[in-house]
Structure 1
Amino acid sequence: MSNSYTKAAFGLAITSAEADLLRRVITAIEMIGDAETSIDALEAHYATIGADFAALFPRTELSPFDGLLDLFPDENYLVLDFDIDIGEPNAEGQVIVFLSGEQFGIETAANLIQRCARSALPFGFEWASDHDRLRPGEFGGGYVAITETAKEFGHTSQMLDRAMGRARDEGADGFVLTIRHPEHGLSFWNDTDGFDRLSRARIFSEAEAANFDVPIAHDQPEWLACPRRFAFDPYIAVAPSA
């Protein structure tokens, strides 16, 4: 018998109001996860839970707490699979919340933070995966970057695949079209403003670059492999907020 783990441990600072909301959310999740909780008990608790909760997690006709379901990747498993320690407010009214676990629900934690800890955004955390036996492919990790509108998930195995792709092919991240100015250096093409700074550059695939009608400029435009630190990584998943 062997065991695999997904581990994370981190803290974030939120407001006292958010901490209070988070406590109510945790209590509601515990209630709906308990099969012995009756619908009458849920309705009675919902009547006292507060307008801020009701606005953030709208009820349905079937249940007052159906608004919580989209926090979870599996609506049949309504459990916070990590520990949450909520501290006391400091002199500035901030509360430190500590999340940790060895079977850490990455997506659930990201959803909970995005919905209930808006003052902390943008926020990110790292996680690790390991195994109690030294098996190939059982070790790695990743991160989640959370904003008000999206959640970005990255995994070390995907980053490694991308790094190896770059090692084999310098154009693995695509290409940018450049011109060189004698005083200002390189400028990079985008379809809106022409040649501009790198942060606004259009990234071309090899096929797109081969078929692109290169514009006439004061200098001969050249194709360069896209700088790796700038390139958008197609292996990173970005999920919009619920």
Structure 2
Amino acid sequence: MANNYIHAAFAVTVTASEAELIAAAETALDAIEEDLQGEGRREAYDALGSAFADAFPPISDDPFSGFMPIFPDKDFPCLDATITIEDGQDHTTRVVTFSGDQFGIEQVANLLFACAKSALPIGFEYAYTCDKLRADEFGGGAVIITADGVEYHSTHTIVREALSEESLPKCTRLILTIRDPEHGLLFWNTDTGFGDLASATLFTEQEAADFDVPIAFDEPEWLACPAGVP
């Protein structure tokens, strides 16, 4: 038995009106949790103000229907973050801090995309941990939020891409050549001497540096092995 956690803590400076909008989103969740219906639900939505209505206009008969898509599970809308709002450096700004041990990465990112336009582009990091030292239970990632949308980057993806064949440094292979007046380029084979490319011996850069180059009628030269030669 082990417990897994998603930790995050970061602060974003936004305008005073954007901070009010974020606070209104928290209030909206309280109204949704009360499961108000009919006129009571509409009144709760209207009480959040015109800025909330502009940011999350209804997309169905439910006044909160435009707000629900920010949550990955619409049946359990929750920000999964502790939010604190403090005064900024002047009266026009506020500092909003998000933190949590089971952090709602996607919903917080969506909330910031909808409510913190003045702060974009912004990003935050998170850590995925476990209370037992078990293999593959640790990682993390980052979220980048721009005017174009939200991008998610995980350490798992970073490691996988870094280890991919395209990303790994290529080991240069070299072949020793001479130019024959009649046959053109000839390629060295350690068993048979100079011949065709298919039989050429491949050398690493270190092996080429240590190799005692044979004497030939033409000055031998090292060339990088052409692509496709095994």
Identity %: 38
Task: Quote the residue 1:81 is aligned against.
Answer: 80
Shift of 1:91: 2.1
Shift of 1:140: 0.4
- Whole-angstrom distance in 2 between the partners of 1:146 and 1:64: 26
For residues 36-88 of structure 1, give each alpha carbon's deviation from its aligned partner in whole angstroms, at most 9, with x where no partner exists.
x3333221122332222112111245211111111111111111111111113
- Whole-angstrom distance in 1 between the partners of 2:151 and 2:43: 37
- Whole-angstrom distance in 2 between the partners of 1:61 and 1:142: 34
Matches within 5 A, 1:42-121: 42-121=41-120
Task: Quote the residue 2:197 is aligned against.
Answer: none
Shift of 1:169: 4.1
For residues 94-136 of structure 1, give each alpha carbon's deviation from its aligned partner in whole angstroms, at most 9, with x where no partner exists.
1000000011111101000000011110000000000000110
Asked if residue 143 in structure 1 is aligned to residue 142 in structure 2, the reply is yes
Say which SS state the counterpart of residue 165 (structure 1) adopts. coil
Task: Quote the residue 2:26 is aligned against.
Answer: 26
Asked if residue 38 in structure 1 is aligned to residue 37 in structure 2, the reply is yes
Aligned amino acid, residue 53 of structure 2: A
TM-score, scaled relative to structure 2: 0.69
Shift of 1:92: 4.5
Identify unmatched segments of 5+ residues in structure 1: 172-242
Aligned amino acid, residue 34 of structure 2: D
Matches within 5 A, 1:1-242: 1-35=1-35, 37-165=36-164, 169-170=168-169
- Whole-angstrom distance in 1 between the partners of 2:145 and 2:91: 24
Say which SS state the counterpart of residue 57 (structure 2) adopts. coil
Shift of 1:29: 1.6
- Whole-angstrom distance in 2 between the partners of 1:93 and 1:168: 46
- Whole-angstrom distance in 2 between the partners of 1:47 and 1:139: 43
- Give the structure with higher Rg (CA): 2
Say which SS state the counterpart of residue 97 (structure 1) adopts. strand
Aligned amino acid, residue 32 of structure 2: I
- Is residue 162–residue 168 contact of structure 2 (8 Å, CA) maintained in 1? no
Aligned amino acid, residue 47 of structure 1: D
Aligned amino acid, residue 54 of structure 2: A
Identify unmatched segments of 5+ residues in structure 2: 171-230
Say which SS state the counterpart of residue 54 (structure 2) adopts. helix
- Whole-angstrom distance in 2 between the partners of 1:144 and 1:60: 27
- Is residue 30–residue 79 contact of structure 1 (8 Å, CA) maintained in 2? no
Shift of 1:93: 1.5
- Structure 1 runs of 4+ aligned residues shifted over 6 Å read none
